[in-house]
Amino acid sequence: MRIAFLYDCIYPYVIGGVERRTWEMGRRLAARGHEVHLLGMKFWDGPRVIERDGVRIHGVSPAAPLYTGGRRAILPAARYALSLLPHLFSGEFDLIDAQQFPYLHCFSAAFAGAAKRVPMVITWHEVWGSHWREYLGPVEGRLGEMVERAVARLPAPRAAVSRTTADQLRALGVREPVEVIPNGIDIRGIAAIPPAPVHWDLLSAGRLIPEKRIDLLIDAIPALLDGFPSLTVLILGEGPVRPGLEQQASRLGIGDHVSFAGFLADPVAVTGLMKSSGVYVSPSIREGFGMAALEAMACGVPVVTVDHPRNAVRERITPGTGRIARPDPEDLAEKIRECLEDPGRFREGCTTLAARYDWDLIVPQVERFYERVISG
């Protein structure tokens, strides 16, 4: 198969969950004999088209800042969508896999695919729904909802990275089947990484934005200090709410217990920190999949998350892999305490569950899905 993955950001030039998925999947499909193309913005120096690990990477539009005022910028997404058209019309592909975000390019792909009679699938990583109004305000947010619904109605087979995302697609009115194809991890690669030299009791990682609810974790820490007076907490990530979180920790008098390490570009370093941690905490109320939480489980580390309908991390929480708390500091502290008292008892459950998501199991599922779409 000749496969084109569409997403404006490409790993490792931009690091994120969608970028990791398209790259890891693409290079493994290439190793299985397929011709794989990644079409995104050009974040690298040098030629517009480069090749890595058998994958052809195309810079179809100039790189541009992704965020303005802490929100995804619209103009780079629009320029990327328009710039895709000549590449899709001139390229010879058997299938187009458009990642649903940032939406506009899905219309370009649908137009070009219909004109050239090339089947397209849309892979959904999360559904925002009414969150658009919180993100952009009542007027612009309503427009965001309309665009999302329009993409959901495009005549293309749909894949979702989690049952949670698939359910939210159905809530948007999608009646056709949605193929659930989760993100994957490299089990052998994770196993080969040694733990970091310094131990942390609690670890959390991700972009520091309001919906990640790191404020809940910070509010839970004082209640944990009674049983764990030397508690250490490491928070990885950057984002617009970081200054407020640092002020919150200082105000609660727990600054000595909480460290903000910023964004780490090296996934090996992040995995090492996970392996040296007792409990991974994911208090986010909006996760389309939750890659970091799964990677923590692959390291044998239990995960504590919160109960929210938009949080797909809950799908992988069992009594043997962690706990699900109400989204309030008191219950979050209690569930962390249950895991922190003996993190080792979760190790086998975590690694067993994580092994089900090895890329060697996920990629053949993707391959079969693509073949069914192409065959009609």
pLDDT digits (tens, 9 = 90+) for 15-67: 888 999 999 999 999 999 999 999 999 999 999 999 999 999 999 999 998 88
Residue 305 CA to its chain's centroid (Å): 15
Which range among 12-21, 63-72, 141-150, 210-219 has the greatest average pLDDT?
Answer: 210-219
Residue found under tokens 């592909």: 93
What's the chain's average pLDDT? 95
Distance CA 159, CA 98 (A): 10
Let me know: does 262 contact 237? Beta carbons within 8 Å: yes
CATH class of 2-184+358-375: alpha beta
Write down the pLDDT at residue 129.
Answer: 87
- pTM comes to 0.93
Write down the pLDDT at residue 132.
Answer: 85
Burial 110-137 (b: 16+ CB within 10 A, else e): bebbeeeebbbbbbbbbbbeebbbebbe
- Per-residue pLDDT at 69 exceeds 80: no
- Per-residue pLDDT at 130 exceeds 90: no
Pure H helices in the chain: 17-31, 74-90, 104-116, 131-136, 138-152, 163-171, 187-191, 214-224, 242-251, 267-275, 291-298, 329-340, 347-355, 359-375
Bigger pLDDT: 140 or 332?
A: 332
The candidate with the shortest Cα–Cα distance to 61, out of 120, 112, 10, is: 10
- Tens-place pLDDT, residues 153-169: 999 999 999 999 999 99
Instruction: Count CB-CB contacts under 10 A for residue 334.
Output: 16
Helix (H, G, I), strand (E, B) or coil at 144: helix
Instruction: Give the pLDDT mean for 143-151.
Output: 94
Q: Helix crossing, 291-298 with 267-275: angle to 10°? A: 60
- In the numeric block, which tokens belong to residue 352? 């067993």
List the beta bridge partners of residue 322. Answer: 303
Where does the pLDDT of residue 314 fall: very low under 50, low under 70, confident under 90, or very high at 90 and above?
very high
Where does the pLDDT of residue 363 fall: very low under 50, low under 70, confident under 90, or very high at 90 and above?
very high
Instruction: Count CB-CB contacts under 10 A for residue 139.
Output: 8
Write down the pLDDT at residue 185.
Answer: 96
Write down the pLDDT at residue 16.
Answer: 85
- In the numeric block, which tokens belong to residue 39? 């079409």
- Per-residue pLDDT at 73 exceeds 90: no
Percent composition of the chain: helix, strand, coil (DSSP 3-state, to 5): 45, 20, 35
CATH 3.40.50.2000 domain span(s) along the chain: 2-184+358-375, 187-355
Where does the pLDDT of residue 136 fall: very low under 50, low under 70, confident under 90, or very high at 90 and above?
confident
List the beta bridge partners of residue 159. Answer: 123, 179
Pick the CATH number of 187-355 from 3.40.50.2000, 3.30.70.890, 1.10.340.30, 3.30.420.40: 3.40.50.2000
Write down the pLDDT at residue 72.
Answer: 81
- Tens-place pLDDT, residues 100-110: 999 999 999 99
Which distant-in-sequence residues (6+ apart) come within 8 Å of 174 by Cβ?
Answer: 152, 153, 158
Write down the pLDDT at residue 121.
Answer: 98
- Tens-place pLDDT, residues 275-286: 999 999 999 999
- Per-residue pLDDT at 247 exceeds 80: yes
Write down the pLDDT at residue 350.
Answer: 98
At 300, phi and psi to the nearest 5?
A: 85, 15
- Range with lowest mean pLDDT among 86-90, 127-131, 182-186, 363-367: 127-131
Helix (H, G, I), strand (E, B) or coil at 314: helix
Q: What percent of the chain has pLDDT over 90?
A: 90
